[in-house]
Amino acid sequence: MSSSATFLLLTFSAVALIVVAKSDRTMPVEMEENELVSLLNSINKPAVTSFQTEHGDILDCIDINKQLAFDHPLLKNHTIQLRPRNIPKWTINNSSSKNGGSMPFRQDGISCPFGTVIVKRTTHEDLILSQRLKSTGSKYSTYVTSKDKNIYLTGFHFAMAEYGHKNYGAKVNLSIWEPKVSPTQFSSASMLIAGGSKEQFQSIRAGWIADGFIKTGCYNTLCPGFVQVSKRVPLGILLEPVSIYDGHQSEVGIVIYKDVITGNWWLFVHDEMVGYWPNSLFTKSGLGHGAGLVSYGGEVYSPVNEKSPGMGSGHFPAEGYTKAAYVNGFEVVCNYDSIFSEPSFPVMMFANTPKCYRVMPGRGQLRVWFDSLFYGGPGGCV
């Protein structure tokens, strides 16, 4: 198994819709040098200033009005929303979460000037390796639910919870791990919000992913659709420190909710307004009028000729806190009022390959652990 790295993940998927999956950003695995240069010039917008991280990544500060999102045909005349019209109250960094104060992604001393946003510069390697990962099946465009036969997709394994009722957003805290994967595998933890039928299905997702490409980064950065507003938190950056087995635990707080005034779906990471998916990208039967599903937990992919990788910490959930991966602090917006609260209906948990990965409710004295789950496993399935 090769070494891996854990990145901040953001995806936007749809079926039968021209959103970010539009084919003009698709490329073959092998590309001529001039094609790579042309595509990179299209993706990487001119920088006002740049920073280099200790890991060698280049972070560019680009004009907020010239970001990649506006290459999308539905956003040509989009007016940027700098902040939500309504910001609901929630608590991610509070005492009920043991590690809520952890900020494993903020780059000390790096903040872009006024009128710009921060993005990770895409490289030749990013383009080629990201396409190879996608070719293995990591497209994040499949309707994933425990009630659907598609849960048994070849090579995919899940240990998740789902809230299958009307909602306008949700929040979770995800513990961060660094499972080892091969160059053709991935292992991730995320929260997905989705709506619509199989024919008109739309989803948005945020979390972290470990893959064998080391610098693949965030998949959505290679295609337009998400409008970045943050000057401090770029997508696709390395998350560290990661959690240690039987030691310190690190986590990332994710909030996705629908602005009741504009209809845009906003993403917060901890308390940072990162950006939003514009409402114009969604159909009425998809996410245009809210969602019908929230799912959260772990997912892995491996080709049929390889044993599947570890999920989360690589240990089964029965081992509990500090040893198994967890998700806690789950709350949902049940009504169009942007108030986060306990879910109105039960949350259903499922694992499609229980001999390799499992999921179970959290247990503990703190109230937050009664609304949580532990998940994961060592893998080894084919």
Residue 86 binned pLDDT confidence (cut-offs 50, 70, 90): confident
pLDDT higher than 70, residue 134: no
pLDDT higher than 80, residue 357: yes
pLDDT higher than 90, residue 197: no
Distance CA 381, CA 378 (A): 9
Q: What residue spans of the chain are helical by DSSP H? A: 33-43, 124-135
Of the candidates 302, 321, 304, 283, the one whose C-alpha atom is nearest the C-alpha of residue 378 is 302
Find the mean pLDDT for residues 133-151: 48
pLDDT higher than 90, residue 323: yes
pLDDT higher than 60, residue 136: no
Please tell me which residue, 212 or 231, carries the higher pLDDT value: 231
207 bridge partner residues: 9, 190
Contact 172, 329 (CB under 8 A): yes
Contact 329, 344 (CB under 8 A): no
Given this model, what pLDDT does residue 338 score? Answer: 77
The beta strand positions in the chain, using DSSP E, are: 5-14, 47-52, 58-63, 116-120, 156-163, 169-175, 186-195, 202-211, 227-228, 251-258, 265-269, 272-277, 293-301, 325-332, 348-351, 358-361, 373-376
Residue 319 binned pLDDT confidence (cut-offs 50, 70, 90): very high
Find the mean pLDDT for residues 174-179: 94
pLDDT higher than 60, residue 102: no
pLDDT higher than 50, residue 13: no
Given this model, what pLDDT does residue 119 score? Answer: 92
Q: Which DSSP letter does residue 66 get?
A: G
Given this model, what pLDDT does residue 46 score? Answer: 95
Q: Tally Cβ neighbours within 10 Å of residue 37.
A: 12
Q: Tally Cβ neighbours within 10 Å of residue 57.
A: 19
